[in-house]
Structure 1
C-alpha cells in the first residue's frame, strides 16, 4: 500500500491542476481537497502552510464532526537546490455557536533527505465575536518557539483590520556574536493594518525584534528583517 505522502504526490501528478488550483470532492461525511496551494490555515490563521519549492502540493480531509487530517509538501525536492519536506497535521475544529468556536491540533514536520530531527508544533485557536486568536508551541531541532496571534478583524473601526503576532525563541545552543557576546534567545513581533479598496488588499506592516546592532547576526525569526521595518503591500487576486 502506498504511503500517504506518495499517494498525495501521485494524485497531484495525475490531476491537471493549474498553479494555485484546488480540487474538491465530497466522500460521504468527508470533504477531500487536493491541490497545489494550501487549502487551510490552522490556529485560526496563525499557522499557514508555506511553499518553498517550484513543485509543491498536498491534500486535506475533513469530517462533519470537526476532525481533519492533512499532508502538505512545501517542496517535493525534485531539483538539486531543494529538499523534500512533508508536513502532516491532525486537528479538531468546532464552532460552538455563531460567535464562538475553537480549534486544537498538531503538525509533524519531516525531512526525509536530511539527517535532522523531525519537529512538532502544537497549536490552538479561538474565534470570538468575529475576532481570531491563536497560540502555537514548536520544538524545532535547534530551538523552542512559542507564538501568540490576534486578528481583531471582526468589528474594525473605519473598515480597518488589525492583526498582531508575538513570538519568543529559546535557542538550544547560544549563538556567538561580535565582541564576545552570546544570544540564547530573542523575541520578535509584528502588527498589520489592512483594508480592502476597489478589490485590492492594502496592508501596512511594522515588524521589529529584541535584537539590534551586531546581535542581529543571531536573528532567525518570522520577520524579514531583525531591526524595525515598515512595509506597505498592495495585493489583488487574479482569480
Structure 2
C-alpha cells in the first residue's frame, strides 16, 4: 500500500465525525475494518508496537473462507522524528469449534523511506479456550529471530489481560563490545498486564533481556530498552 493511501486511512481515523465509532463495513464478500489498533489476533502479537505519541492505524479484510489480509502502520511518519513503517500481513484462520482453532500467516515489515530494511516473518498458532499460543520465525539475515508469545486472555476476578512474549535473536555478524567480547546471540522477553477503565486502555509492561552493561550496545530486540524496564501506558482510541 502506498503512503498516500496510508495517510488517507490516518485522516479517516482522526476525523472528528468518526470519534467514538467503530468503522466496520461489508465490502462484497469481505468484512472490512479500519482502526487505530491491530485487528488480527496472532499478527497483533507480532507486529511492531506503536511508538508513544505516534499516529498509527490499520486496515483489515476477512473472507468467510478464513483467508484474511491487512496492513498496520505502527508509525505513519507524520512527525519530523518518526519514520513511516508498514506491517503487511496475509493469513488463514480456522475454528474447529468455539474452543479450538488455528492460524498461519506471513508478515512483511517495510520502511518505504529507508532502503534495505525490509524483512519477513512466518507465524502460526493455536486458539484454545480463550487463550492464544503462537510463534514466528523472522528471516532477517542480520538478526534471525524466533518468537514465542501467549495471550492468556482475562484473568478471572481481576479482569486483567495477560500477554507474554519471548524471543531468541541470532546475529548474522557477531557484535564486538568495548572489552573485546563478542555478542552473537541474546534473548529478550516482556510481560504485559492490560485492563480497560473509563474508556482508557491501561497497560503495565515489564521487559528485559539477558544483555547488560556494554553488551547492551548490541541490542536490537522486541523491546524498547535492553535493561529491565517497567512501563505504564494509558491510551484512548479515537473510536
Q: Shorter-chain-normalised TM-score: which range?
A: 0.7 to 0.9
**Post-superposition CA distance 1:162-187 (Å, at most 9, x none):** 43211000111111112111111100
- Whole-angstrom CA distance in 2 between matches of 1:110 and 1:71: 11
Q: Using a 3 Å threshold, how does the CA distance of structure 1 residues 195 and 68 change in structure 2: closer, same or farther? A: closer
**Is the partner of 2:220 in helix, strand or coil?**
coil
Alignment check: 8 A CA contact 1:195 1:201 kept: yes
**Is the partner of 1:188 in helix, strand or coil?**
strand
Q: Using a 3 Å threshold, how does the CA distance of structure 1 residues 84 and 209 change in structure 2: closer, same or farther? A: closer
- Whole-angstrom CA distance in 1 between matches of 2:10 and 2:161: 38
Q: Using a 3 Å threshold, how does the CA distance of structure 1 residues 161 and 71 change in structure 2: closer, same or farther? A: closer
Q: After TM superposition, give the deviation of residue 198 of structure 1 in Å.
A: 7.2
Alignment check: 8 A CA contact 1:136 1:146 kept: yes
Q: After TM superposition, give the deviation of residue 214 of structure 1 in Å.
A: 1.8
Q: Using a 3 Å threshold, how does the CA distance of structure 1 residues 69 and 181 change in structure 2: closer, same or farther? A: same
Q: Using a 3 Å threshold, how does the CA distance of structure 1 residues 83 and 147 change in structure 2: closer, same or farther? A: same
Q: Which residue does 1:43 correspond to in 2?
A: 42
Q: After TM superposition, give the deviation of residue 63 of structure 1 in Å.
A: 0.8
Alignment check: 8 A CA contact 1:177 1:217 kept: yes
Q: State the number of aligned residues.
A: 234
- Whole-angstrom CA distance in 2 between matches of 1:92 and 1:162: 24
Gaps spanning 5+ residues in structure 2: where? none
Gaps spanning 5+ residues in structure 1: where? none
Please show how residues 54-133 of structure 1 align to structure 2 within 5 Å: 54-77=54-77, 80-133=80-133
Q: Which residue does 1:220 correspond to in 2?
A: 220
Alignment check: 8 A CA contact 1:69 1:90 kept: yes
Higher mean displacement: 220-229 or 123-132: 220-229
Alignment check: 8 A CA contact 2:38 2:72 kept: no
Q: Which residue does 1:12 correspond to in 2?
A: 9
The structure, 1 or 2, with the larger RCO (C-alpha pairs under 8 Å, 6+ apart) is 2
Q: Using a 3 Å threshold, how does the CA distance of structure 1 residues 94 and 154 change in structure 2: closer, same or farther? A: farther
**Is the partner of 2:139 in helix, strand or coil?**
strand
**Is the partner of 2:217 in helix, strand or coil?**
helix
Q: Which residue does 2:208 correspond to in 1?
A: 208
Q: After TM superposition, give the deviation of residue 207 of structure 1 in Å.
A: 2.7
Q: After TM superposition, give the deviation of residue 117 of structure 1 in Å.
A: 4.5
**Is the partner of 1:9 in helix, strand or coil?**
helix
- Whole-angstrom CA distance in 1 between matches of 2:42 and 2:152: 14
Q: After TM superposition, give the deviation of residue 42 of structure 1 in Å.
A: 4.2
2:178 maps to 1:178: yes
**Is the partner of 1:97 in helix, strand or coil?**
coil
Q: Which residue does 2:232 correspond to in 1?
A: 233
- Whole-angstrom CA distance in 2 between matches of 1:91 and 1:155: 28
Q: Using a 3 Å threshold, how does the CA distance of structure 1 residues 141 and 51 change in structure 2: closer, same or farther? A: farther
- Whole-angstrom CA distance in 1 between matches of 2:50 and 2:203: 21
Q: Which residue does 1:26 correspond to in 2?
A: 26
